[in-house]
């Protein structure tokens, strides 16, 4: 099988130069991939450029180059329209959404963002928070980052806490052990905390619930402090999105 190395070399070099010029044309927003749309546009441009390199003929190469330039122009036009129109910007880039309000998880907003409790707790731990009841606001930005406004007097976990704080789980998950998530009991963690089903039922009734299906999240720390969230929204429901 004959491999056209000369043709592949030329198409690769030309594609590299064209892609570099087009990315520079798009500007810094595309380079930093600030939003999901920017990320998808960048990945699509890379795929189109790869098709150009793998072209088997000059006609396919030119067709691929035209497609790449046209897609870049469309992305640039979308960025310009977003700059002028906030309505289009909200559709293309999305809006920040409140996930925690005054220590309460907003379940319906979790559903909108497709973020489950395990992911939310991971994002909180990355910010140094092992309990959400001392958080005034937790806002999921269009970039996927979580912005947190702590309640007055609360502090995030210090480095010493992370290094020497109580850790009751064998996996090393921090001061709070998550026993119930979305109505499902983690039996291993329940045993590790020296509690049983009767203790869980007592905590549910104590906090106004009726059964395990009412529990969205339940965790306990070394000092016996229980963090529980039932399947209800915060008493004061903020707007779903920040305007």
Query: What is the rounded distance in angstroms from the CA atom of residue 137 to the CA atom of residue 179?
Result: 24
Longest CA–CA span in the chain (Å) reads 77
Summarised one tens digit per residue, pLDDT across range 15-50 is: 989 888 887 777 655 555 466 677 777 888 889 899
Query: Do residues 87 and 17 both lie within one domain?
Result: yes
CA 220 distance to own-chain centroid? 25
Query: Do residues 57 and 112 both lie within one domain?
Result: no
Q: Report if pTM > 0.75.
A: no
Task: Taking residues 224-230, report their average pLDDT.
Answer: 84
- In this prediction, residue 152 has a pLDDT band, given cuts at 50, 70 and 90, of low
Query: Do residues 208 and 150 both lie within one domain?
Result: no
Query: What is the rounded distance in angstroms from the CA atom of residue 21 to the CA atom of residue 12?
Result: 14
Question: Which CATH number does the domain housing residue 146 bear?
Answer: 3.30.240.20
**Last residue in a domain, options 61, 92, 123:** 92
Residue 160 above 60 pLDDT?
no
131 in a structural domain? yes
- Range of the structural domain that residue 217 is part of: 173-232
Query: Do residues 114 and 161 both lie within one domain?
Result: yes
DSSP the chain: ----HHHHHHHHHHHHHHHHHHHHHH-HHHHHT-SHHHHHHHHHHHHHHHHHHT-SSHHHHHHHHHHHHHHHHHHHHHHHHHHH-HHHHHHHH---EEEEETTEE-HHHHHHHT--HHHHHHHHHHTT-S-STTEEEEEE-TTS-EEEEEPTT--PPPHHHHHHS---STT---S-EEEEETTEE-HHHHHHTT--HHHHHHHHHHTT--SGGGEEEEEE-TT--EEEEESS--SS---SB--
Domain count along the chain:
3
């Amino acid at each position: 099988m004959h491999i056209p190395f000369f043709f592949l070399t030329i198409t690769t070099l030309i594609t590299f130069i064209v892609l570099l010029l087009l990315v520079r044309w798009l500007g810094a927003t595309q380079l930093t991939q600030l939003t999901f749309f920017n990320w998808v546009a960048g990945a699509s441009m890379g795929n189109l450029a790869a098709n150009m390199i793998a072209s088997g003929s000059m006609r396919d190469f030119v067709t691929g180059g035209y497609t790449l330039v046209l897609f870049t122009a469309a992305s640039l036009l979308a960025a310009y329209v977003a700059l002028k129109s906030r309505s289009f910007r909200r559709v293309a880039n999305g809006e920040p959404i409140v996930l925690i309000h005054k220590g309460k998880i907003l379940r319906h907003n979790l559903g909108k963002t497709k973020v489950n409790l395990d992911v939310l707790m991971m994002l909180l731990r990355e910010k140094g928070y092992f309990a959400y009841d001392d958080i005034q606001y937790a806002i999921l930005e269009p970039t996927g980052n979580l912005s947190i406004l702590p309640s007055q007097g609360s502090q995030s976990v210090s480095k010493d806490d992370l290094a020497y704080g109580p850790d009751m789980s064998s996996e090393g998950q921090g001061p709070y052990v998550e026993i119930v998530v979305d109505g499902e009991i983690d039996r291993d963690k329940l045993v590790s905390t020296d509690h049983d089903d009767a203790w869980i039922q007592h905590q549910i009734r104590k906090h106004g619930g009726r059964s395990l299906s009412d529990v969205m999240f339940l965790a306990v720390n070394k000092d016996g402090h229980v963090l529980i969230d039932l399947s209800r929204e915060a008493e004061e429901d903020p707007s779903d999105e920040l305007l």
